[in-house]
Chains A and B, each alone.
Chain A
């Protein structure tokens, strides 16, 4: 048996017993409402169900027992009294808990309705208590004052706003503390906002991921006393500098200007300045002075931004963020995009206009967030190009060559991961140009060229791709010699007739180049197969073009990003696939008979002859195709090709996840993506599909 299932089963048995005990205790309390032992028992059972339910995936039980636990906590501390209404509702909840235990979190719509009704009834009881107007024990309420409601947020009256400066020691991670959990905890106490300060994060070379470089300023509006805030940091106080002070006797988060100010701090990473806050209309009079800066941190005082004009100038236009954080952000955004898809799916099946409008807003927001996060993860290619300047300078000196190295398009941005993997292949290509492309000054002069050779490195956008071109005006390749060499090595048969680009492709074949020198192409192919492999690992392509005596151009074609693309979801049989939207030209609906009877896989659509092939057939999908199939027309190089699928389902934001090493030979699939229902759909690489599966020469020749 599945071990986790085993534990879940254990929990169910345990919970069953607890619920039975709960019932027994409630029945006793009905007769003797002051029986302390049983009040304790009821509280403990609620507490256990709440804490443990969540551990085994019974989140509904956790939610449901949360408020009951609070109520019985009040009862046991004498702040609330047991009466008939409370007992009735608790007894009813016994049956409800049994139902939740049986059904788990997936309630049908009817049960869900009952659940919501029930939950809100209990919420009413607790709210009545918290709002002070409760009919349970009025004199106690007065006696205890507002602090009795301290655990709960939601009631804006009598909140105070606190300022917390939290500077963890670098080694805080060592004792198992995640500072973010503490910030989360503060958040449960009321309304809060945290400003993370990242200026201490060192450069990537010296970055140590086991150290904490960040410090925080946290603002929280809460009913809690300052000591409760102190308690949050209790386990880290030895390892951190913590300063907590009350800045206002009211909830500043209700003030629009305050919120704006905090948002600005979060964006700029500037430090909080109490003086600035005092000047804000409607706030200033409420502000209390922050406790004096402690003498051991004078450097902080010195850095406090100056109010007014000077401050505006001090705004930092860019911040350094560790790449780990960017990765995390991208992962979180990925998850959110996936969740968004789930929300959409749910919204479609529930015709609720309110829900629809919320889902639409969330969709809009998550799209913006996605694009924004995506743009953060892009970095200009210039960041790796400078080191090539140096390489060219040093190497040309060693080789006794004169080289003019020109870089263009440094500002072209690419995904961080792509840039990281681009350095080695580019280095390789440049080396080849220097070593074997550009001739020595004497040879160049003899051939009527300038003494100084030129290498251009140019990066530019082309549609959803980035091209990186390395062009030299050196000796170039002789296609004849390449072909000869390939034949000699048995890479092509003697009879094969290849065009120029096919011949140049041979350079990328593993085993093409060797150490034995054959005149001007000697060693030129060294490692080009490696370059090709590295580039295809980041879903790119390498193309070589050359003219003997004139020079060579190596072009690397790369996708903009590896992680997120807009896709179109299609079905083949029961399986869902994603086709990248940028490749899609048009969609036609065609009867299966027409497709079946098409001669030589060519169909006439809108007067055009369109070559096509069926993915159902190519993928070996079982079962019969539907009566009407759909043809997705995709762009393939400068031609159009139809892919026959069962049905197009719609647009889909896709977060691409690699399929992993086990599927490395399935290169016609770019990766997988998680659909709204939690299953995986495969993302198709249309170019690779067409070049791999289409034996139809028509596609290659006639569809121009």
Chain B
């Protein structure tokens, strides 16, 4: 049974590219364009992993992480943040919010897949 990944990014190109990469690896992908969209979308669904962009308008990745952790069904789902090296200082905040790890942009498909595979193992 393939696992389901929620991909959250306000940039459609990244969202689609990450989604496609994961689909080619056989994962089910749910896409959301904002934190709000994500929270509405996952209600009642089985999600095995959340990948979210850190820097988004309205609700950023860390705020989203906090919100997701509040949901009963999602308290243990791994959450990966996509970010750039200039945001390294946010790491602590992300960890405290309950994030599992992060991936620094730009990254290649292989790296994304290997991180996802390890987290989901």
A and B touch in the complex (CB under 8 A): yes
Stretch at the interface among A51-59, A325-333, A361-369: A51-59
User: How does the 8 Å CB contact mask read for A33-64 relative to B, with 1 for contact and 0 for none?
Assistant: 00000000000100110111111100000100
User: How does the 8 Å CB contact mask read for B1-23 relative to A, with 1 for contact and 0 for none?
Assistant: 00000000001111011001000
Does A302 sit at the interface, judged by CB under 8 A? no
We find that the number of chain A residues with CB closer than 8 angstroms to chain B is 37
Query: A52–B11 Cα gap in the complex (Å)?
Result: 8
Which residues of A lie under 8 Å from residue B107 when comparing CB positions? Answer: 55
Which residues of A lie under 8 Å from residue B14 when comparing CB positions? Answer: 11, 52, 55
Query: A312–B117 Cα gap in the complex (Å)?
Result: 45
A62:B106 contact, CB within 8 angstroms: yes
Does B28 sit at the interface, judged by CB under 8 A? no
Does A234 sit at the interface, judged by CB under 8 A? yes
Task: Give min CB distance, B115 to chain A, whole Å.
Answer: 5
Which residues of A lie under 8 Å from residue B70 when comparing CB positions? Answer: none
B118:A3 contact, CB within 8 angstroms: no
Which residues of A lie under 8 Å from residue B55 when comparing CB positions? Answer: 44, 47-48, 51
Task: Give min CB distance, A24 to chain B, whole Å.
Answer: 16
Which residues of B lie under 8 Å from residue A54 when comparing CB positions? Answer: 105-106
Which residues of B lie under 8 Å from residue A73 when comparing CB positions? Answer: 86
A56:B105 contact, CB within 8 angstroms: no
Assign chain B's interface to a size class.
20 to 34
Which residues of A lie under 8 Å from residue B13 when comparing CB positions? Answer: 7-8, 10-11, 14, 52, 55-56
Does A173 sit at the interface, judged by CB under 8 A? yes
Task: Give min CB distance, A576 to chain B, whole Å.
Answer: 28
A235:B12 contact, CB within 8 angstroms: no
Query: A7–B16 Cα gap in the complex (Å)?
Result: 7
Query: A548–B20 Cα gap in the complex (Å)?
Result: 68
Does B95 sit at the interface, judged by CB under 8 A? yes
Task: Give min CB distance, B14 to chain A, whole Å.
Answer: 6
Partner of A174, one of B17, B84, B118: B118
Does A246 sit at the interface, judged by CB under 8 A? no
Within 8 A of A (CB), among B67-121: 80, 82-86, 88-89, 91-92, 95, 99-102, 104-107, 114-116, 118-119, 121
A176:B16 contact, CB within 8 angstroms: no
A8: nearest chain-B partner, CB-CB: B13
A51:B105 contact, CB within 8 angstroms: yes
Does A188 sit at the interface, judged by CB under 8 A? yes
Task: Give min CB distance, B113 to chain A, whole Å.
Answer: 11
Which residues of A lie under 8 Å from residue B100 when comparing CB positions? Answer: 175-176, 235
Query: A151–B121 Cα gap in the complex (Å)?
Result: 35
Does B44 sit at the interface, judged by CB under 8 A? no
A175:B101 contact, CB within 8 angstroms: yes
Most A Cβ at <10 Å: residue of B14, B83, B102, B114: B14
B16:A10 contact, CB within 8 angstroms: yes
Within 8 A of B (CB), among A235-283: 235
B118:A176 contact, CB within 8 angstroms: yes
B88:A188 contact, CB within 8 angstroms: yes
Partner of A176, one of B11, B12, B95, B115: B115
Query: A533–B68 Cα gap in the complex (Å)?
Result: 59
B88:A232 contact, CB within 8 angstroms: yes
Query: A52–B106 Cα gap in the complex (Å)?
Result: 7
Within 8 A of B (CB), among A561-587: none
Task: Give min CB distance, B99 to chain A, whole Å.
Answer: 8
Partner of B102, one of A3, A56, A235: A235
Query: A235–B79 Cα gap in the complex (Å)?
Result: 12
A234:B85 contact, CB within 8 angstroms: no
B20:A3 contact, CB within 8 angstroms: yes
Does A177 sit at the interface, judged by CB under 8 A? yes
Within 8 A of B (CB), among A47-88: 47-48, 50-56, 62, 66, 69-70, 73
Task: Give min CB distance, A8 to chain B, whole Å.
Answer: 8
Most A Cβ at <10 Å: residue of B11, B57, B100: B11
B102: nearest chain-A partner, CB-CB: A235
Which residues of B lie under 8 Å from residue A44 when comparing CB positions? Answer: 55, 57
Query: A54–B105 Cα gap in the complex (Å)?
Result: 7
Which residues of B lie under 8 Å from residue A62 when comparing CB positions? Answer: 106
B101:A177 contact, CB within 8 angstroms: yes
A173:B11 contact, CB within 8 angstroms: no
A40: nearest chain-B partner, CB-CB: B57
Does A185 sit at the interface, judged by CB under 8 A? yes
A150: nearest chain-B partner, CB-CB: B89
Query: A56–B104 Cα gap in the complex (Å)?
Result: 14
Does A296 sit at the interface, judged by CB under 8 A? no
A69:B16 contact, CB within 8 angstroms: no
Task: Give min CB distance, B72 to chain A, whole Å.
Answer: 23
Does A228 sit at the interface, judged by CB under 8 A? yes
A235: nearest chain-B partner, CB-CB: B101
Partner of A235, one of B86, B95, B104, B106: B95
Task: Give min CB distance, B29 to chain A, whole Å.
Answer: 14
Closest 8 CB pairs of A and B: A54-B106, A11-B13, A176-B118, A10-B13, A51-B105, A51-B84, A176-B119, A7-B17
List residues of B whose CB falls within 8 A of some A CB.
11-14, 16-17, 20, 55, 57, 80, 82-86, 88-89, 91-92, 95, 99-102, 104-107, 114-116, 118-119, 121
Q: Supply 19 further A-B pairs (C-beta < 8 A) apart from A48-B11, A52-B13, A175-B119.
A: A6-B16, A7-B13, A7-B17, A8-B13, A10-B16, A44-B57, A50-B84, A51-B55, A51-B83, A51-B105, A52-B106, A53-B106, A55-B106, A55-B107, A181-B104, A228-B88, A231-B89, A235-B101, A235-B102
Q: List 10 A-B contacts (CB under 8 A).
A: A6-B16, A10-B13, A11-B13, A14-B11, A44-B57, A51-B84, A56-B17, A62-B106, A175-B100, A176-B101
